[in-house]
A and B are shown apart, each in its own frame.
Chain A
Amino acid sequence: MTTVSTTLAIVLTFSVLAALAAIFLRDVLNAIIAFAAFSFGIAVAWILLAAPDVALTEAAVGAGITTVLFLVTIAKTVRPSGERLLEAVEWRSVAIVVLLVGTLLTTVRSLPAVGSADAPVATSRVTEYYLQNAYPETGVENAVTAVLAAYRGFDTLGEATVVIAAGVAVLLVLRQEAYV
């Protein structure tokens, strides 16, 4: 039975605390800073989980661009800051969350242990195919890049379409027709 490494556990616990702070801090600027710290913690967790590509994207997009977008939004609108430091607990939401947590916790036990070598994803034929054939077939050493740009290239084209559509939508919503 494998166990989660202490470093990973500490990083994940930090992330959960930062996420809690982001939701419960009343001042929106404080919440955005806590959210950036959360994204940073998660980016470190991706490195510990052997996913450097995801870590780079999370650090650049999650901690970087998303934080800037939030800051621009409160600069353009309003930053409501109350007299209290924390939000009051909303008990109706707690009830919904408890229902969700209860449902999900019943499934956790049936998942394979973190990092076990006989987990379904690690032993799946798709994983084995990509790891064995990605380099000979595409000449790309990074299997993630090979899958992203070669095997699932149409997926990535769809992703690019989503980004373009989002950019056009933002300009339209903000009535910046000069750029459209």
Chain B
Amino acid sequence: MIDLLGTHYNYLVFVALVAIGLYGVTASTNLVKKIIGLNIFQVGIFLFFVTSGYVDGAAPPLVGHGSGPYASPLPHVLILTAIVVGVSLTAVALALIVRIYEAYGTLDEDAIREVQLND
């Protein structure tokens, strides 16, 4: 396990970020913090992808001049798309949170459930 720290550190950080994100989504009762957890989970997956395309001592994939080795461009492209989709998702989620606050007057999950039971 210890030898993995040197050679697989990025992947261990990926596991840590996914764990922190999942904890945030499931444990936080505040809806805004749930979305923060979702974003951290997502960045963990990004780290997995970008690391998979990295080669030691590689240059960024600017291929017009100079010579390799280059990092693989494909994971970068996929993650660029995923970042933009992620922020769209966050925007919609936060808009829904603003409406939930208008309707229930609270962002606490347990308090919202109580209001629903009383109605």
Q: Which residues of A does B touch, CB under 8 Å?
A: 1-4, 8-9, 12-13, 15-16, 19-20, 22-23, 28, 31-32, 35, 38-39, 42, 45-46, 49-54, 57-58, 61-62, 65-66, 69-70, 72-74, 76-78, 80, 87, 89-90, 92-94, 96-97, 100-101, 104-105, 108-109, 111, 113-117, 119-122, 124, 126-127, 130-131, 134-135, 141-144, 146-148, 152, 155-156, 159, 162-163, 165-167, 169-170, 173-174
A159, B84: Cα distance in complex, Å:
8
Contact at A77–B36, with CB atoms within 8 Å? no
- Which applies to chain A's interface (DSSP): helix, strand, loop or mixed? helix
Interface centre among B21, B33, B59, B68 (most CB of A within 10 A): B33
Contact B98 A73 (CB under 8 A): yes
- B79 close to chain A: CB less than 8 A: yes
Q: Given contacts A57-B83, A97-B19, is CB(A127)–CB(B60) below 8 Å? A: no
Question: Closest CB of chain B to A167's CB: distance in Å?
Answer: 8
Min CB gap A149→B, angstroms? 10
Known: A143-B62, A174-B98. A114 touches B10 (CB 8 A): yes
**Max chain B C-beta neighbours (<10 A), residue from A23, A61, A62, A72:** A23
B53 touches A147 (CB 8 A): no
Task: Report whether A28 and B8 are in contact in the complex, using a CB–CB cutoff of 8 Å.
Answer: no
Instruction: Give complex CA distance A122, B16 in Å.
Output: 24
Q: Which of B41-79 contact A (CB under 8 A)?
A: 43, 46-47, 50-65, 68-77, 79
Complex CA gap A135/B16 in Å reads 38
Interface residues of B (CB under 8 A from A): 4, 6-24, 26-28, 30, 32-33, 35-37, 39-40, 43, 46-47, 50-65, 68-77, 79-81, 83-85, 87-92, 94-99, 101, 106-108
Question: Across the interface, do A19 and B70 meet the contact criterion of CB distance under 8 Å?
Answer: no
- The interface residues of chain A lying within 8 Å CB-to-CB of B59 are 50
Residues of B contacting A127 with CB < 8 Å? 53, 72-74
Chain B residues positioned under 8 Å from A174 (CB to CB): 95, 98-99
Residue of A at shortest CB range from B55? A122
Distance from B72 Cβ to chain A, minimum over Cβ atoms (Å): 4
Closest to B61 in A: A143
Known: A50-B54, A100-B22, A167-B88; 16 extra A-B contacts, CB below 8 A, are A35-B40, A46-B50, A49-B10, A49-B50, A66-B39, A87-B28, A97-B23, A101-B15, A105-B15, A116-B56, A117-B69, A119-B52, A119-B55, A121-B53, A122-B69, A166-B88
Within 8 Å CB of B89, what residues of A?
166
Q: Determine the residue in chain A with the shortest Cβ distance to B59.
A: A50
* A90 x B26 contact (CB < 8 A): yes
20 CB contacts below 8 A, A to B, read A23-B23, A28-B32, A39-B43, A51-B75, A54-B83, A70-B32, A72-B94, A74-B32, A76-B101, A77-B97, A77-B107, A96-B22, A109-B8, A120-B52, A127-B73, A144-B80, A148-B77, A148-B80, A162-B85, A163-B84
